[in-house]
Amino acid sequence: MKHRRPAKPNSRIVDEEGREEFFATSRVKSRSFKFKRRHQRWPAIATVLSLIPCLLFIRNLITTNRESELSPFPPNWWDVQNQASLLLRCPQPQHAPKWNCYNDLVDENSDTVDRAKRLFEYDPNDNRSKEEHRFDDRIPHLLIFTHKYNIFDCSVTASNSTSPNMYTLAENAKATVKAYSRIWPDLHFVYLSDNDCIDALNRTEPGLIPFFNDVKLEGMFKADLCRVAYLCLHGGYYFDVDLLVVRPFTAPKNSTFVTVKGEGSPGGSDFRGFFQAFLAAEKDHAIVRLSLRMMLETLSGKRPSSSGLYLGPGSLMEAWMEVQNITDFSNTKNDDYDTYLLKEINLNDQLQVSMYKNLSDVLMSETGSDLLQRVPGDHEDDCKLSTGSWNVCNFAVLDEGDGSIYFYSRVLGTTYCGVCVEKRPKR
């Protein structure tokens, strides 16, 4: 019988059948070593697991900051490139004859714009249009609208529960966005609800909130407060929803404030201050902010209301004069002091028209009457169109520098310009 030599720990032997086996001491030590290594892993794993929430937080923070850098816009701003569906024409309600009238007005407004472009021979490739593609403007490429109802929501503007003239106003606002999107690929637009307006006031002049919430305050005065507060916060281009765009006007490169001198002579009984249906400004502009404070003082009774001037137009004009130290309005130019002022005129007033050769030549031409808005006659038996007791059709906004028209003051389908009224049944 052969005697095996004692083996060293962890050594192995081969039996007669050729099988390898470790000595018991080797197996015990091996198991003990593995247990120790496994036991030592748990604290490390626990440490890693405890760090996961922190790592996730850091990752989310980095992602959020990165997204903020890539898209530094409020969530209610719509990117015209990605929200084109909001600009589609809304389907009309069925079995609502009166809506047909307003639907035709949408087409008539579009025809009015086309006729004006043709008469002034507007060329999208001219020098002015090339300048309009700038990305370094001091005024953001943001279009701002406000209304009691969301004008970009078809369930609201094309519903039997709302007035059908909302349909015309909504389609006009969409046309405004489309017009500017053709010159600004980076365009954003926003609709301001009452809550958005209150938020803007809370961040600029909180004292105006009680006046804004007052049910006695007319909608146009609420818009006065809202537009100025929002421009203070963000800057941009504000449009009334009934302003008809013929050709997009963009602020000259160094201009930081643009609006419109109202129709009439400054200082005359027919003058109403600035026509702020179009108002553009850079963020936190001194004129805009002072105008907001003046409106608060006026509504609070601390500042006398300007004779014959409305709240917003009067405050904006007075703020402009104070900031620019202007005492004689009549001697101002359209491009003084990094501001640019357009002019509203009555196209039916020959005296006003004669002051601008380009406009006068167009109106005196053989087809000059095509420049005027056309209020259609009776729309079959559904309704009739009326201008009401105060006709404000054919007021236009022009550039005094070249006498060319950029806007019509009011689109067809508003209260005093082609509103659709039901016909009384014949007796």
**pTM for this entry:** 0.79
| Cα–Cα dist 145/143, whole Å | 7
Q: pLDDT confidence of 426, banded at 50, 70, 90?
A: very low
**pLDDT digits over 101-160, tens only?**
888 899 999 999 999 999 999 875 554 544 555 666 889 999 999 998 999 999 998 888
Closest-CA residue to 416 (of 362, 378, 373, 382): 373
pLDDT, averaged across the chain: 81
Evaluate whether residue 2 is within a structural domain. no
Predicted local confidence at residue 427, as pLDDT: 41
Q: Which residue range(s) make up the domain with 272?
A: 78-422
Selection from 224, 327, 342 nearest residue 267 by Cα: 327
Q: Which residue has the higher pLDDT, 85 or 44?
A: 85
Q: What is the CATH number of the domain that holds 407?
A: 3.90.550
Question: Which residue did the predictor score with more confidence, 74 or 277?
Answer: 277
Most confident of the following: 273-277, 305-309, 414-418? 273-277
The CA–CA distances, whole Å, from 50 to 37, 39, 44, 142, 220 equal 21, 18, 10, 46, 58
Distance of alpha carbon 415 from alpha carbon 412, whole angstroms: 9
Task: Work out the pLDDT band at 83, boundaries 50, 70, 90.
Answer: confident
Over residues 160-175, mean pLDDT: 91
- Per-residue pLDDT reduced to its tens digit, 354-386: 999 999 999 999 999 999 998 876 655 566 777
How far is Cα 180 from Cα 240, in angstroms, rounded to an integer? 15
> Where does 143-202 have alpha helices with state H?
154-157, 165-181, 194-202
pLDDT at 130: 47
Q: Which amino acid is at 181?
A: S
Do 245 and 180 share a structural domain? yes
If one compares 308 and 251, the residue with the highest pLDDT of the two is 251
Q: Is residue 379 a part of any domain in this protein?
A: yes
Q: pLDDT exceeding 90 applies to what percent of the chain?
A: 48
Whether 193 and 339 map to the same domain: the answer is: yes
Q: Is 336 helix (H, G, I), strand (E, B) or coil?
A: coil
Specify the number of domains making up the chain.
2
Question: Do 150 and 237 lie in a common domain?
Answer: yes
Please indicate, yes or no, if residue 176 is contained in any of the structural domains: yes
In this structure, are 221 and 261 located in the same domain? yes
Claim to verify: residue 323 and residue 219 sit in the same structural domain: yes
161/247 same-domain check: yes
The answer to whether 143 and 236 have CB atoms below 8 angstroms apart is yes
- Shared domain for 42 and 87, answered yes or no, is no
Q: Assess whether pLDDT exceeds 50 at residue 64.
A: no
**pLDDT at residue 25 greater than cutoff 80:** no
Whether 198 and 292 share a structural domain: yes
Residue 16: inside a domain: no
Q: Is residue 17 part of a domain?
A: no
Task: Evaluate whether residue 28 is within a structural domain.
Answer: yes
One domain for residues 186 and 325: yes
Q: Is 15 part of a structural domain of the chain? A: no
Residue 401 is predicted with a pLDDT of 87
Digit-coded pLDDT (tens) for 26-46? 555 555 555 555 555 666 666
Same domain as 129, residue 267 = yes
Predicted pLDDT of residue 69: 42
- Please indicate, yes or no, if residue 1 is contained in any of the structural domains: no
30 shares its domain with 135: no
Residues 334 and 414 reside in one and the same domain: yes
**Beta strands 383-386; 278-281: pairing state:** unpaired
